[in-house]
Structures are given as structure tokens and as C-alpha cells.
A and B are shown apart, each in its own frame.
Chain A
Amino acid sequence: MPDTRASALPGFPRWQESSVRLIVIFLALVLIVGLAWVIRSRITNATIESMQWVSHTHEVKATVFELAASLNEMEAAAFAAQSDPLSEQAAHRYGGARARYAPLLQKLRDLTRDNPEQQERIGMLRVQAEGRVKLFDAALMERAAGRNTEAGQGLAAAVTRFPIDEVLKGLIDDEEHLVAARQDVVERRAAMGSWIIGAVSLIQLLLLAAIVWGSENQLRRRLAAEAAARQAVERAQLILATVREPIAVVTRDLGILTCNQAFTDYYAVEHGGTLGDSPAWNDPVLLQRMRDVPLTRREVWDYELAQTVGSAESMRHVVVNARPMQLPDADDTAILLTISDITARKQFEAQVLELNRQLEGKVAQISDSNRELEAFSYSVSHDLRAPLRHITGFAEKLQRHLGDDADEDTRHYSEVVVNSSRRMSSLIEDLLTYSRLGRHAMRLRGVDMQSMVEEVRIALTSSAEDRDIAWRIAPLPVVVADENMIRLVWQNLLDNAMKYTGSREQAVIEVGLGEPTPLEFVFYVKDNGVGFDMAYADKLFGVFQRLHKASQFAGTGIGLASVRRIVSRHGGRTWAESAPGAGATFFFSLPRSQTQA
């Protein structure tokens, strides 16, 4: 299953993510440790340098002191020699001091080569020292010559003319300043160094904490994921165990690798066994197809069969599905077997089939009796016509036979006989027409309602030229219908409208189309005639149902029944709206597509 979880680093697959993290952590470590090392070594170097400078200053100072000592020694020895010219010791001390000062001066010069001020002072010191030496030497030579006074004067002059204390003090002071400044630098650097080292340590600590926190987090996440995975596995196992459908994973030899409780209950086999242990698995075709599943990777789809299952050995109808399944822990392809018990469905199907069979029988019975009824009504109406013809025929013959001999009553009686049989014959004719409407096959084709209404209107008005009728005919569509039947509908509706507006001076008959719907067309014929009471509206469309006396309005009461029969054979509806005296509106609908007939 592909890992659908979003990667924490966008743009990186998961396997790269961890190595990127490792590299980042390593770089941070290198940076922190390396930086600390660099900074510390730099601070140490600076400190060492500063300390070297301090010791250098101390060396300078020591040299200055040594120089000062040699000069003072020279001065003291000169005076001693002057007071005791015979003292070998004094002369020796003088000579030693005189020989020492020049190299010390040179050493001092070398030491302070970087300090021009000191170099200047050293220059001055040399001049003074050399001046003193010259005067000392001259004074000592005077003393040797016995001129003691001159010698004393010469020595005093040397000390006063060539003072050295100021210069020496300047040298010492300068070095004192330098050593103080350098000491300061050393201290500041040391302080800064400890600050930086503290900061670096803090950063190292923080980084360490971050790494620990990160790995702790990682560990927690991994543990959570493992727990979730374990839960998912447990859930899946629970589902497998709980599900009522028998499920098993079998090898290509139909050995049961694993199966759920339902499977065990159903077939009394457990994992470790084979399907063959159960007598239910004995369909050779199914077994072969199942063995083929791992080889051909062709699934067994909804294989229906009846199996004898369980200890009760009941016959169950099942649907078997077998799919190849690649196990994660095995190279072999296994077969996932799922079984659905459709016994209940089969029983339902059988019931439905049985009911259908009964229904078909009943339908056949009904259509048989319908046919019989139709045949009966046809033959009755048919057979009734002949005697009627005879009644009228022979009544007329009787009238002719009696001729002028007939009295008023006789003529009246025979007229009633003739009229009644005529009415009966028109009733029978209409009934036959009505019966034919229900039986004849429909011939569907496009019918232009507009021109048909016009045609019917002209035919009807031609025999009623004395009537004043205002026709309002809206544009009408073309429908798919049986032309002759639909003509009959319009004939009946328009004829009715004309008939029931007979008492109006100005009849208004409106033909129109109702609000169009996607499913049907609704046509209507509206008149301003006598109307009817809506309480009897449901009687209107019945056979031989009339709301008016025959003496008021002629008719047999079959027209609207025919309309309803035709419209409903086309899949439409018929209805009417009216109030007594307020005219009537008759509606009929036709489906837009005529596929049913």
C-alpha cells in the first residue's frame, strides 16, 4: 500500500527526508564544535600574545633597572676612586660598570625597537651616559695626576651636567604605562573569552537539547504510528472475525492459510486444513477455476452454486468470489475467497417467480375474459341491430299497408315504434364505436392539431349556419397520435361545445393549449354554454352518463366516454371544470413522446 501521508518536508520523499535531517544535524554539530574551537584558540592566542607583551615590558623594565644600577655603580665607583685614588677596588668597580652600560643600552634599544618614544629616550640616555663617562674618565685622569680639586669639580660637573634620573624615570614610567595597558588588554580579552565560551557553551547546550527533543519527538511519533498500525491490524482482524460472510485466504492447493469464524462455522474447517475437508466444496468446475486464479490471475466472479453446509447439512445457495492476493510475507500468490449466502434472495426470487407466474395466469384470465366480454358486447350489439332493423322496417311497412285507413292513434303508435328503435339503433352504433376504440390497434403518426381543429370546426359549422359562434383557436402543436381517434376527440368536444351553447345568442368557443410541461401537452375547449354542476363531474366521462335530459340536448352519452377512452389509450388524462350557467372547460392531455401505445 502506498504511503499516503504527507511528507514533513515538502518536495522530498520520506527516505530522503531522514538523510537530509541527518546531514543538517551533522553540519550544525560541526559548526558549533568547530566554531567553539576556533574562537577558543583565537582567544588563547591573543591572551598568550598579550602575556608575552607583558613579560616583554617586564624585561624592558628589568633592563632599565639594570642599566640604572650600572650607571649608579659607575657614578658611585667614580666618586669612591676620586676619594681614594689608591683603591684598586674602586677602579675595578668603575671599570666593570663602565664596560656594562653600553651593552645594556644596546639591549634596551633592541628591546624597544617597536617604541619610537623609548628609542628617543634611550638616545638621550646614551648621550648623557657617554657625556658622564667622558667627564668621569677625565676627572679620574686629573685625580691620577694629583689634581684632586679639579677631579672633584669634574665629577660634580659630570653629575650635574649629564643628569640621567629624569630619562630613566621617563623610560620606567612609559614601560609602567605599557604594562598597565597590556595587562588591561589581557584582562579584557580573558573576560571576553569567557563570555564567548559561555555563549558557545549555551548554544551547544541548546543544540543538544534540540537534538534530544527532536529525537524524543521522533521516537514518540514512531511509537504512536506503531500503535496506530497495531490498532488498524487489530481492527481489521476484528472485522474479519465479526463479519458474517465467510472469508478465507487459501493457497493454490486450496489449503486454508487463514479464515474467519464465519467460515469455520459454515464449513466446519479451520486454518491448516483444506477446502476439500468440507463436503460443500465438491464442484469440480469451481475448484478448477479457483486453482487457476493465482496462475492466470483471472478472478472467479459471482459464481453461484448450492452447497450442503454445516452440521445440520442444510442446503444453502451461495455466491463465491475468488481473487488473487499477494501476501506481504510470502512469494506465492494466495486466493482470497469470499462467500455470500443468497439463500434468502433465492427464496425471494422463487417467490417472485411464483407470484409472477400466478399473476401472468391471472392476467391471461383477465385478458381472456376481457376478450370474451368484448366479443359478447360486440355480438350483442351486433345481434341487436337486426331485430331493430326489422322493427323499423316492418313498422314502416305497416304504415304503408294501412295507408290512409290508419287513424291518428295508429300513426302515433307506429311513429313511437320507429323513433324508439331509431334511438336504440344510434345507441347501439355508438356503443359499437366505443367498443372498437378500445380494441383497435392505434396507428401513431404526427397529427397537426391546428389544422385538424380547423377541419372539424368547418365540418361542424357547415350544418349549423344559423348559429352565431365566435371561435377563438390558439396555435396548436403537432402531436404523435392516432389521427382518426384524435379527430373523434375534437369532433366530440367541439360538437358538445356547440350543442351546450345553443341557448346563447352569441356563443364563444375557445380552443387552446395549457401551460406546457416537459412531459405533456394540455389542450382545452372552453365554452360559454349552460355548464354543469361540478358535483357530477365524475359522471361526465362515463358510458351513457348524461347530465341533461335527452329532450334538452340530443345525444347518447357516449361522446365524452369515447374521448376519455381515446385519450387514456394515448397515455393522457381528461377532466373538466364548470359551474351551472357559467360555461364549461374540457381538458385533455397527451404525452409529448408517444412510445407507449
Chain B
Amino acid sequence: MIKEIRTILLVEDSDADAEMTIDALRQAKLANPIVHVEDGVEALDYLFARGDYADQPNGSPAVVLLDIKMPRLDGIEVLREIRNSEKFRHVPVVILSSSREETDLARSWDLGVNAYVVKPVNASQFFEAVQTLGQFWAVMNEGRPGN
């Protein structure tokens, strides 16, 4: 059976961060399509095929790269919705945030995040980190079958 190539869902409100992240993932030469949404509401719309994405239902992503601080709905809330949903509760979610705050860390882990990565300020370290993440979650990690 050929492994299904799943998308990488990038939830990031900052265009520059998104561009750098996508850049890094591209350079990692991953085959996975990258879907970029700009806030929590859009992310949930994409996953649950609502709003702009109502007519195009999508399968489970290989990984959701989730920023915390976003307009309208923040990353923690998105994580809570994902974990509460029957369909997506096993989807790997990686928080990719600038915050090293204890409250953010604790809440994320309490909600069942799969990994929490603090965005390095240094650009090259950031590139490295994103590439490692992409390779691990999109290539090496085996998701739950049937999702």
C-alpha cells in the first residue's frame, strides 16, 4: 500500500513567519502539500470543511503546525477543538510559538499537544528547527490508520 501523502497544515498569522516556515519546509524537500491558514477560525474551517472550505472536505493532515498568538481564535482553542473532535483527535499537533511561558506550556500539554517548539529568534536556528519538525512529523512519524 502506497503511503498516502498528507498535507501539512500551517496555522500562522504572521506572513513573514509563514513565509520562512514554508521556505524551510520546501528546502527540506518534503513531498507533502503545505496548507497555510492565517488564524484559528480559518484552521477549524479548513479541518471541518466550513466557511470558505465548505465545498472541499479534507482528510487528516500529517501534522498541524500551530501558532498560539493569533487573532480571533488562538492556538490553544484550536488545539482544544481538535482534541475534542472525533475525527481529528489523533492528528499530531505541534505548537510552534514564540512563547516559553509556563502557562502556555502547561495548557498545551494538558490539552494533549504532541510537541511544543519555541521559535528560535535566530533565523538559521529557526530554519533548522522547522526542517527537523517537518521531516519527523511528515516523513518519519506513522499516523493512526483510518484517519
Interface residues of A (CB under 8 A from B): 378, 382, 385-390, 392-397, 422, 425, 428-429, 432, 436, 440
The 5 closest A-B pairs by CB, nearest first: A393-B123, A425-B121, A390-B16, A392-B123, A393-B20
- Are A385 and B121 in contact, with the CB atoms below 8 A? yes
Contacts of B126 in A (CB 8 A): 389, 393
Q: Which residues of B contact A388 (CB under 8 A)?
A: 121
Interface residues, chain B, with chain A CB atoms under 8 Å away: 14, 16-17, 20, 23, 69, 98-102, 119-124, 126-127
Number of A-B contacts (CB under 8 A): 52
With contact pairs A386-B17, A390-B16, A393-B16 given, residues A425 and B102 touching in the complex (Cβ less than 8 Å): no
CB-contact partner of A432 in B20, B69, B100, B120, under 8 A: B100
Contact A390–B121 (Cβ < 8 Å) = no
CB <8 Å contact, B121 and A396: no
Residues of A within 8 A of B20 (CB): 389-390, 393
Q: Which residues of B contact A425 (CB under 8 A)?
A: 121-122
Asked if residues A382 and B98 are in contact (CB atoms below 8 Å), the reply is yes
Task: Given the known inter-chain contacts A390-B17, A393-B20, please indicate yes or no for A422 contacting B122, CB distance below 8 A.
Answer: yes
Q: In the assembly, what is the distance between CA of A397 and CA of B20, in Å?
A: 9
Q: Is A389 touching B123 in the complex (CB atoms < 8 A)?
A: yes
List, sorted by A's number, 25 A–B pairs whose CB atoms are closer than 8 Å.
A378-B101, A382-B69, A382-B98, A385-B98, A387-B16, A389-B17, A389-B20, A389-B119, A389-B120, A389-B121, A389-B126, A390-B14, A390-B16, A390-B20, A392-B124, A393-B123, A393-B126, A394-B16, A394-B123, A395-B123, A396-B123, A397-B23, A429-B121, A432-B100, A436-B101
Contacts of A428 in B (CB 8 A): 121
Residues in B whose Cβ lies below 8 Å from that of A440 = 102
Bound: A392/B120 CA distance, A: 11
Q: Which of A382, A387, A393, A436 has the most CB of B within 10 A?
A: A393
Residue of A nearest to B14 (CB): A386
CB distance from B8 to the nearest CB of A (A): 19
Candidates A382, A394, A396; contact of B124 at CB < 8 Å? A396
Closest to B67 in A: A386
Extra contacts besides A385-B98, A387-B16, A392-B121 (18): CB < 8 Å: A382-B99, A385-B119, A385-B121, A388-B121, A389-B17, A389-B20, A390-B14, A390-B16, A392-B123, A393-B126, A393-B127, A395-B123, A396-B124, A397-B23, A422-B121, A428-B121, A436-B101, A440-B102
Residues from chain A with Cβ under 8 Å of B100 in the complex: 432
Nearest CB on B from A87, distance (A): 182
Residues of B within 8 A of A422 (CB): 121-122
List residues of chain A with CB within 8 A of the CB of B98.
382, 385-386
Q: Min CB distance, A413 to chain B, in Å?
A: 16
**Chain A: minimal CB distance from B41 (Å):** 21
Which residues of A sit under 8 angstroms from B17, Cβ to Cβ? Answer: 386, 389-390
